[in-house]
Amino acid sequence: MRAKVMFLADRARFREELRLFQQALGAVAVAFGHSLVMREAGLSDESEETAVAQAFESEAVVLAAGQERASAFARRLGCFAGLRTYDFPEAAQAFSRLKSRELPGGAVVWPLSGLDVQLNKAAVSAVAQAAQGGEPLALCPPAEQESVWKSAASRAAMYAAQPAPSVRAMEDVFTDRLTALSRRQAVWAPHQGALLLDRLLCHLGGCAPLAYTVYLAEDRCLHVPETDGRSALSLFSMLYAAADLLKRSLRLEREADCLKTAVDNVLASGWRTAELPEGGKTVPAEEIVRLVGEQVALAGELFDRLR
């Protein structure tokens, strides 16, 4: 296939680091015979209109920016919900801050506005995410919009032939996750509650360097990698976001699974970058991308032989 991928960054350093994201996608494109036209640009107040236009011309969009700017840009693209998924490899258990070495499972979804049409779309996405993971959906509506949220979620569940979501208080969801972090559950919550829950899950599970955010629109997605707390992008966040972009934005499920498996294998082999907890073989980010690219190339060769 041929597709355009737009890379935007609000800092020069991010723009440089996103080239590792591009290298990972390029390795997949070469291995499986795709043509990905990758463009990059800076994002500032003066260039935002141009960036929005370029994003609409692309099949996939990646943004390296802080949470506030990313959320605002997502709204400009017509996104209606944010999504954080928790599907980490077993090797990430070494990062957990818990003695049980539990990892979070499931997803957190939040609407980007309180408008009924946006809530309805966000509800459909939350129900679909729960169904995809085979997990229950917990609904944590704000008190002033409880009836609207319940109606939207129940209607979405009915159309998807899924069980009606349970209405939970946010504090009860927090308690559940503290006592059983790895129990898979999809949660639909207001932005602030979703953010706090995500921080809790990623902190206890130690998986923040592997996580990323996806903003959902009807015709596109916006992928936002995680920063490492030092104004730099987390490499493994970019790699896992790249796999999700292949699947969610470009509909290349085989290629997405290949890239994700390659990244999982690199972690399982003990390779680490500086932003990850100590205990493995720490190497520069470029070396991790090279190792991942080698595995992707081998998978591509095997695919060619089987065709």
Contact 224, 65 (CB under 8 A): yes
Diameter over CA atoms, the chain: 59
The top-level CATH class assigned to 80-212 is alpha beta
Residue 215 pairs with which residues in a beta bridge? 82, 222
pLDDT tens per residue across all 307 residues of the chain: 999 999 999 999 999 999 999 999 999 999 999 999 999 999 999 999 999 999 999 999 999 999 999 999 999 999 999 999 999 999 999 898 887 888 999 999 999 998 889 999 999 999 999 999 888 899 999 999 999 999 999 999 999 999 989 999 999 999 988 888 888 999 999 999 999 999 999 988 999 999 999 999 998 999 999 987 667 999 999 999 999 999 999 999 999 999 999 999 999 999 999 888 777 789 999 999 999 999 999 998 887 777 6
Residue 179: per-residue pLDDT: 86
The DSSP code sequence of 269-283 is TTEE-TTSPSSSEE-
Q: Where are the beta strands (DSSP E) in 171-268?
A: 185-188, 212-216, 221-225
C-alpha span between 220 and 5 (Å, rounded):
11
Residue 98: per-residue pLDDT: 83
Every domain of the chain and the residues it spans: 1-79+217-307, 80-212
Match 């996608």 to its residue by tokens. 25
Residue 277: per-residue pLDDT: 78
CB 190: neighbour CB atoms within 10 A? 16
C-alpha span between 226 and 209 (Å, rounded):
7
Residue 229: per-residue pLDDT: 62
Per residue in 101-135, pLDDT (tens digit) is 889 999 999 999 988 899 999 999 999 999 998 88
Per residue in 182-198, pLDDT (tens digit) is 889 999 999 999 999 99
Residue 287: per-residue pLDDT: 97
Residue 278: per-residue pLDDT: 73
Domain 1-79+217-307 of CATH type 3.40.50: yes
Residue 230: per-residue pLDDT: 62
- The structure's pTM equals 0.95
